[in-house]
Amino acid sequence: MSDPATLQINGTLIDATFAEAFPMKATRLVITARTAAWAMHAAHSLTGFATSVIGCGCEAGVERALAAEETPDGRPGVAVLLFAVSSKELAKQIERRVGQCVLTCPTSAVYGGIDPHTSQAPLSDRAPLGSGLRFFGDGWQISKMLGTTRYWRVPVMDGEFVCEEATQTVKAVGGGNLILLARDADAALDAAEAAVASMRKLPNVIMPFPGGVVRSGSKVGSKYKGAGASTNDAFCPTLIGLSARSELSEDVGCVLEIVIDGLTDADVGAAMSAGIAAAAGLGKAAGLLRISAGNYGGKLGPYHFHLHALANGIGLGLDGGRA
């Protein structure tokens, strides 16, 4: 069970633990189109099947919608973030996803979205974007230089597909997380939805799972040969009294997790604080009993986000009393 001296916000216990995150490589792409709807179609397609690097190759999501005055070509747009475990894997995912999901979308164009001169995240490599996709033009493609940036114009059936030649990548942070322990599924979903909505107001972060939430939290290893991960029985309500690893009390009926990827550790920490504030703002009266986090004892990654430190800056009826 958790440390009995956990902090409380509105009666919700904040466990004395930390979320453990790890280094990743990331980039931002800016997708534009004739209308905001078509830009979002391309963004949703590109970020599909991108919840976890364990099975998807990358983690990706919509960062925010962009007004016409915020995009390189003056059209409505969408900013998406993509994260992978290596520069090589990130480059592969960018080429495949842009080629299959943006090039194919009517009226779309795509540009690199990280300015190397203003980025707060440490710079990494430049990943190919249009430099590979241009070959779809079968020799009819042409390039254009604007300042020091090269763009490719590829003829397609609705006109031209415009694509910046490369996108800047950065060293980023993946795997920040919050685990919400609630009385029942309704309470858990309400808390999770509130947390994700608050986090999505912040820049430089995504919550890559469906709706920003994951119900199938995992642990490393399995009793079955060849399975690298398996259900996190410590947080499964149906295994209370059955699993020796259970961390749940009898009043917990549902547990949901939120995973956060960000361009910097400060971005992940800010999102986690916002999520704690929003979820705990509902409080125990709404059925949110505890907020915890997942870690591997500090062995997985160098970024440790301590919940008490994050909660102390919130100021929502924080109580240092015992549980």
Q: What is the CATH number of the domain that holds 188?
A: 3.30.70.520
pLDDT of residue 10: 95
pLDDT of residue 227: 87
Burial of 231 per CB tally in 10 Å (0-12, 13-18, 19+): middle
Q: How confident is the model at residue 296 (pLDDT cuts 50, 70, 90)?
A: confident
Residue 249 lies in a domain: yes
Inform me whether the pLDDT recorded for 193 exceeds 80: yes
Residue 276 lies in a domain: yes
* Angle, CA 310 vertex, CA 305 and CA 316 arms, to 5°: 155
Residues 268, 130 share a domain = no
Distance (Å, whole) CA 322 – CA 320: 7
Residue 13 lies in a domain: yes
> Alpha carbon 270 to chain centroid distance?
13
- Identify the domain boundary among 115, 140, 170: 170
pLDDT more than 90, % of the chain: 89
Count of the separate structural domains present in the chain: 2
Tally DSSP H helices, then E strands, for the chain. Answer: 7, 18
- When pLDDT is averaged across residues 23-35 and rounded to a whole number, the result is 98
Residues 188, 260 share a domain = yes
Residues 126, 106 share a domain = yes
- In the numeric block, the tokens 């590829």 are attached to 154
Q: How many CB atoms lie within 10 A of CB 157?
A: 5
Residues 270, 193 share a domain = yes
pLDDT of residue 252: 98
- When pLDDT is averaged across residues 9-25 and rounded to a whole number, the result is 97
Q: How confident is the model at residue 323 (pLDDT cuts 50, 70, 90)?
A: very low
Residues 159, 38 share a domain = yes
Structure tokens at 235: 């947080």
Distance (Å, whole) CA 291 – CA 307: 9
pLDDT more than 70, % of the chain: 95
- Identify the domain boundary among 151, 170, 189: 170
**Nearest Cα to Cα of residue 195 among 254, 253, 258:** 258
Q: Which residues contact 219 (CB under 8 A, 6 or more apart)?
A: 229, 230, 231, 232, 233, 234
Residues 15, 73 share a domain = no
Under 8 Å between Cβ of 251 and 289? yes
Inform me whether the pLDDT recorded for 211 exceeds 70: yes
Q: How confident is the model at residue 322 (pLDDT cuts 50, 70, 90)?
A: very low
Q: How confident is the model at residue 298 (pLDDT cuts 50, 70, 90)?
A: confident
**Residues of the domain holding 233:** 7-21+173-319
Burial 2-38 (b: 16+ CB within 10 A, else e): beeebbbbbebbbbebbbbbeebbbbbbbbbbeebeb
- When pLDDT is averaged across residues 252-272 and rounded to a whole number, the result is 98
Under 8 Å between Cβ of 292 and 2? yes
Amino acid at 78: V
Residues 165, 177 share a domain = no
Residues 256, 158 share a domain = no
Residue 243 lies in a domain: yes
Residues 218, 145 share a domain = no
pTM attached to this predicted model: 0.93
Distance (Å, whole) CA 14 – CA 6: 6
Mean pLDDT of the chain: 94
- Identify the domain boundary among 170, 187, 216: 170
Under 8 Å between Cβ of 151 and 130? yes
Residue 2 lies in a domain: no
Inform me whether the pLDDT recorded for 318 exceeds 70: no
Residues 159, 35 share a domain = yes
pLDDT of residue 229: 87
- In the numeric block, the tokens 């990827």 are attached to 261
- When pLDDT is averaged across residues 152-176 and rounded to a whole number, the result is 98
Residue 101 lies in a domain: yes
Q: Which residue has the higher pLDDT, 165 or 320?
A: 165
pLDDT of residue 297: 86
pLDDT of residue 63: 98
Inform me whether the pLDDT recorded for 37 exceeds 90: yes
Residues 165, 256 share a domain = no
Residues 162, 33 share a domain = yes
Residue 1 lies in a domain: no
pLDDT of residue 251: 97
Residue 294 lies in a domain: yes
What are the backbone dihedrals phi and psi of residue 195, each rounded to the nearest 5 degrees, phi first? -65, -45
